[in-house]
């Protein structure tokens, strides 16, 4: 937030009194960089606090073996762990943000590493707590909590730990599993070394310029407007990639075996069961998502045919998926993006709107790209006692506007949760993390469609809806189906080679894209391109989030205050309940087919309008 001297504040107040209408109409001067002094006034203050937190870690170990002594001891231990975790997270936020300001500043990168090391030490210092809570037993823990109102904020954490008792090992077992972390991370490290460093990627000429066709180069030029060049990009990239199919297959197959080992060590029937049990998500959610996506594949195939028409092609190839099919000449600077977002989000009500306006005018965000700054966009909200921070790389196109709304959706989710919940219950899980951001995106595109002028502009925004469906719902579900298939194959004792993985993925590519999209068998190696499959059963949550967001957005746009408030209640719930139950209480049941079918029906209606516009 901009700092004013007393004199400046006095003059502004006087001006406002003299000309109230003009003062109210004035737009705030938006800070373009964040103010990290709200976390720590200096780097030296950060260092002092890091040392203080590290010195406090042994105090946690002093409670080991004593949690069953009394309610007072359990409360004291819980408070100590909560306090040091809260402080360590604040240290991590500062170090991460400072490091991303300029990746070339060695001191800031060293600080980031020190923060990560501290988090590892915190994990080691608290690893004994869950086994000990289980040893104390549900009866005693529940009695301790029931007898002290101050323990209410710890109740859900204890219940969740006790729920997973059948899958928690004793101290020795947990220590043994913890020691496997580095070994189990090996496959991902080898894959990254191959893909990001060791493969001698070819060069290709695209639009008159030579491009090194590594994974980043491929992503950058696969959307080139020249169709012949597009196909050459795909064929050259996957041709070079194919040479390493066996090695890449060995890394992923080893990763899958690691997942199976961990699941069996914790007595789960399958890798999927182990992955979804942490946030208590029923397996039915995963399987229903895949079933409903497959049921809706004819709608996706219909979109590919409309894309073919928009590109003016006689046929459709997999290399035609990425080039833009519509164009928008409008530009959106940061003040304009903020103003549009505020208008688009009005259906969320005056309370949300006022908070959004206040937050977006504060010094919480590093907005513009520059040399050395981290790429991409994110929100980091782990500093409970301060506020969320955002990193953007705003370049003025519609994608930047959409990203602005998206990341501020995360920030508002965090603000609402932190104000409604104590620190211990404020951190929401991945399953609900993308809902608020995607609701904002959907409200934005609905707003833009309402004001669209002419056929071309309307087609542009309709295609944004379609690309969300293709890229976030169908593609992520295809990834999820592949991940489930390879784990289930390995769990039956079958071998996974690079060739077999490529054949399995190629079959999915053909099914998801339909008979009218030409796909070369070599493209089946695409499974090795994203790093998603090295985070077990993670990516499906993008697809479930966009589904839940679609359901909420439709209800919010319906104008009923009760449904809007139910959605805001889900955001305020934070991590106070299991994510599927949070959404269900707000009216969206992700275990049933209904939200998926409603979203796919909306997708079909979008295609109806595009076809009408195309004649």
Residue 2, pLDDT above cutoff 70? no
Query: Per residue in 284-317, pLDDT tens?
Result: 999 999 999 999 999 999 999 999 999 999 999 9
Q: Is residue 40 part of a domain?
A: yes
pLDDT at residue 170, rounded to an integer: 83
Query: Per residue in 334-376, pLDDT tens?
Result: 999 999 999 999 999 999 999 999 999 999 999 999 999 998 9
Residues in the chain: 615
Residue 72, pLDDT above cutoff 90? yes
Q: Is residue 69 part of a domain?
A: yes
For the chain, the domain total comes to 1
Q: Is residue 428 part of a domain?
A: no
Q: Is residue 548 part of a domain?
A: no
Residue 381 pLDDT class (50, 70, 90 cuts): very high
Residue 146, pLDDT above cutoff 60? yes
- Would you tell me how many other CB atoms lie within 10 Å of the CB of residue 64? 14
Judge whether 434 counts as a catalytic residue. Answer: no
Q: Is residue 158 part of a domain?
A: yes
Q: Flag the least confident range among 126-130, 157-161, 377-381, 562-566.
A: 126-130
Measured distance CA(437)–CA(439) in Å, rounded: 5
Residue 18 pLDDT class (50, 70, 90 cuts): very low
pLDDT at residue 26, rounded to an integer: 57
Tell me the average pLDDT across 1-29. Answer: 40
Specify the pairing of strand 517-518 against strand 316-317. Answer: parallel
pLDDT at residue 575, rounded to an integer: 97
346 Cβ neighbours under 8 A, 6+ residues apart = 353
What six digits make up the tokens of 532? 């998603």
Question: Domain residues for 42?
Answer: 36-184
Query: Per residue in 245-268, pLDDT tens?
Result: 999 999 999 999 999 999 999 999
Query: Per residue in 470-524, pLDDT tens?
Result: 999 999 999 999 999 999 999 999 999 999 999 999 999 999 999 999 999 999 9
Measured distance CA(174)–CA(168) in Å, rounded: 7
Q: Flag the least confident range among 120-129, 221-230, 579-588.
A: 120-129
Comparing 185 with 40, the larger pLDDT belongs to 40
pLDDT at residue 49, rounded to an integer: 98
Q: Is residue 165 part of a domain?
A: yes
Tell me the average pLDDT across 438-447. Answer: 97
Q: Is residue 303 part of a domain?
A: no
Q: Is residue 168 part of a domain?
A: yes
328 Cβ neighbours under 8 A, 6+ residues apart = 397, 398, 457, 460
Residue 580, pLDDT above cutoff 60? yes
Tokens 């979804």 sit on residue? 276
Residue 11 pLDDT class (50, 70, 90 cuts): very low
Query: Per residue in 194-203, pLDDT tens?
Result: 998 899 999 9
Three-class HEC string of 28-94: CCCCCCCCHHHCCCCHHHHHHHHHHHHHHHHHHHCCCCCCCCCHHHHHHHHHHHHHHHHHHHHHHHH
- Spatial contact of 304 and 292, defined as CB atoms under 8 Å apart: no
Measured distance CA(373)–CA(355) in Å, rounded: 28
Query: Per residue in 523-548, pLDDT tens?
Result: 999 999 988 899 889 999 999 999 99
* 210: β partners: 205
Whichever domain contains 156, its CATH number is: 1.20.140.70
The pTM score is: 0.90
Task: Give the active site residue among 407, 424, 434, 563.
Answer: 407
Mean pLDDT of the chain: 93
């Amino acid at each position: 937030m901009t700092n004013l001297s007393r004199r400046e504040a006095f003059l502004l107040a006087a001006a406002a009194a003299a000309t109230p209408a003009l003062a109210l109409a004035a737009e705030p001067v938006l800070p373009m960089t964040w103010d990290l002094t709200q976390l720590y006034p200096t780097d030296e203050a950060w260092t002092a606090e890091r040392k203080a937190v590290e010195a406090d870690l042994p105090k946690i170990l002093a409670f080991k073996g004593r949690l069953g002594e009394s309610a007072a001891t359990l409360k004291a231990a819980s408070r100590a762990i909560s306090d040091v975790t809260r402080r360590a997270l604040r240290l991590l936020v500062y170090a991460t943000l400072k490091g991303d300001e300029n990746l070339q500043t060695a001191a800031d990168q060293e600080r980031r590493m020190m923060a990560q090391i501290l988090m590892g030490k915190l994990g080691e210092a608290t690893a004994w707590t869950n086994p000990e809570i289980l040893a104390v037993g549900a009866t005693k823990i529940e009695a301790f909590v029931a007898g002290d109102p101050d323990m209410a904020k710890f109740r859900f954490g204890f219940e969740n730990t006790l729920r997973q008792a059948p899958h928690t090992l004793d101290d020795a077992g947990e220590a043994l599993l913890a020691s496997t972390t580095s070994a189990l991370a090996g496959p991902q490290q080898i894959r990254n070394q191959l893909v990001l460093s060791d493969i001698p990627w070819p060069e290709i000429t695209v639009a008159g310029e030579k491009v090194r066709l590594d994974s980043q180069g491929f992503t950058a030029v696969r959307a080139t407007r020249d169709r012949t060049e597009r196909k050459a990009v795909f064929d050259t990239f996957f041709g070079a990639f194919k040479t390493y199919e066996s090695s890449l297959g060995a890394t992923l197959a080893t990763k899958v075996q690691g997942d199976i080992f961990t699941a069996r060590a914790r007595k789960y029937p399958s890798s999927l069961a182990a992955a979804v049990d942490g946030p208590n998500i029923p397996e039915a959610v995963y399987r229903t998502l895949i079933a409903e996506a497959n049921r809706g594949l004819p709608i996706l195939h219909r979109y590919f045919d409309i894309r073919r028409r928009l590109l003016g092609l006689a046929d459709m190839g997999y290399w035609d998926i990425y080039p833009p099919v519509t164009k928008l000449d409008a530009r959106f600077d940061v003040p304009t993006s903020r103003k549009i977002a505020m208008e688009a989000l009005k259906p969320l009500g005056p309370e949300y709107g006022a908070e959004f306006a206040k937050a977006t005018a504060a010094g919480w965000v590093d907005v513009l790209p520059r040399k050395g700054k981290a790429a991409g966009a994110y929100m980091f909200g782990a500093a409970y006692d301060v506020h969320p921070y955002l990193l953007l790389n705003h370049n003025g196109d519609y994608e930047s506007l959409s990203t602005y709304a998206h990341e501020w959706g995360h920030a508002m989710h965090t603000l609402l949760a932190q104000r409604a919940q104590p620190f211990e219950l404020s951190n929401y899980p991945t399953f609900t993390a993308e809902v608020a951001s995607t609701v904002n995106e959907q409200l934005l595109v609905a707003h833009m469609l309402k004001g669209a002028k002419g056929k071309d502009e309307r087609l542009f925004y309709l295609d944004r809806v379609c690309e969300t469906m293709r890229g976030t719902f169908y593609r992520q579900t295809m990834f999820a189906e592949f991940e489930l298939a390879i784990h289930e194959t390995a769990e039956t004792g079958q071998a996974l080679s690079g060739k077999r993985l490529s054949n399995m993925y190629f079959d999915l590519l053909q099914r998801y894209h339909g008979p009218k999209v030409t796909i070369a068998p070599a493209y089946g190696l695409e499974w090795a391109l994203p790093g998603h499959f090295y985070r077990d059963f993670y990516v499906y949550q993008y697809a479930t989030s966009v589904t839940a967001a679609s359901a909420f957005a439709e209800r919010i746009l319906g104008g009923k205050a009760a449904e809007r408030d139910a959605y805001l209640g889900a955001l305020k719930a934070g991590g106070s309940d299991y994510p599927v139950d949070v959404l269900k209480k707000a009216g969206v049941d992700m275990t049933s087919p209904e939200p998926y079918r409603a979203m796919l029906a909306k997708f079909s209606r979008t295609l109806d309008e595009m076809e009408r516009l195309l004649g």
